[in-house]
Chains A and B, each alone.
Chain A
């Protein structure tokens, strides 16, 4: 079956510094879409980024990610973290219906 791996459970970063969240995956399907979801405290998960095109950079709200099928990765990055970026971030994939989520990475941004 499909699986998504997020290696960091917690990432702490100082405001203004860059942040990177790792995401790798395993799937047997060719036609798939990838997402980063963000979940703020006491809120529902919401889509941050989506991609299904190999080697194409996707950007939203200062975050960016590039799908690399050659390395089965879809890492999330931001050049300057903000206090408001503190949240849970989930990498997820789908090939038909429903999403397979990673365990999530909690990002804590400190002043």
Chain B
């Protein structure tokens, strides 16, 4: 079974540039998450979807970040005008929706450096 696939693996930008990250979740998983993991910190939830609907995007810096999952499968996270503080690894994860417990399957992440 294929895991969660993310691309690109690495991105290096100048401040002010835009970048998009792509995620292909495990087939059949209805829930998809984007996490930001700064260096030497734990992952922090940015946004998550069930099918194509955004369930929670309260931690997404809405002025520069956007995320879509138009067909309820693949997803794209975009940073419109990157800042040095955005330097982090961006992790995508997927799962089946359950009420009592949650096991997430993570992709390898995209490591972003903003110079």
B42: contacting residue among A31, A42, A50, A104, CB under 8 A: A104
Residue B26, interface by CB 8 Å: no
B45 pairs with A90, CB closer than 8 A: no
A44 pairs with B4, CB closer than 8 A: yes
B106 pairs with A104, CB closer than 8 A: no
For the complex formed, measure the closest distance between the CB of A101 and the CB atoms of chain B, giving whole angstroms: 4
A33 pairs with B44, CB closer than 8 A: no
A98 pairs with B102, CB closer than 8 A: yes
CA distance A103 to B107 in the complex (A): 19
Residue B87, interface by CB 8 Å: no
Residue A11, interface by CB 8 Å: no
**Within 8 Å CB of A100, what residues of B?**
45
A94: contacting residue among B50, B56, B101, B109, CB under 8 A: B101
CA distance A9 to B41 in the complex (A): 9
B103: contacting residue among A31, A44, A50, CB under 8 A: A50
List residues of B whose CB falls within 8 A of some A CB.
Answer: 3-4, 31, 33, 40-45, 48, 50, 55-56, 91, 97, 99-104, 106-109
The 6 A-B residue pairs with the shortest CB-CB distance, nearest first, are A101-B42, A44-B106, A33-B101, A94-B102, A104-B42, A45-B106
List residues of A whose CB falls within 8 A of some B CB.
Answer: 4, 9, 31, 33, 35, 42-47, 50, 52, 90, 92, 94, 96-104, 106
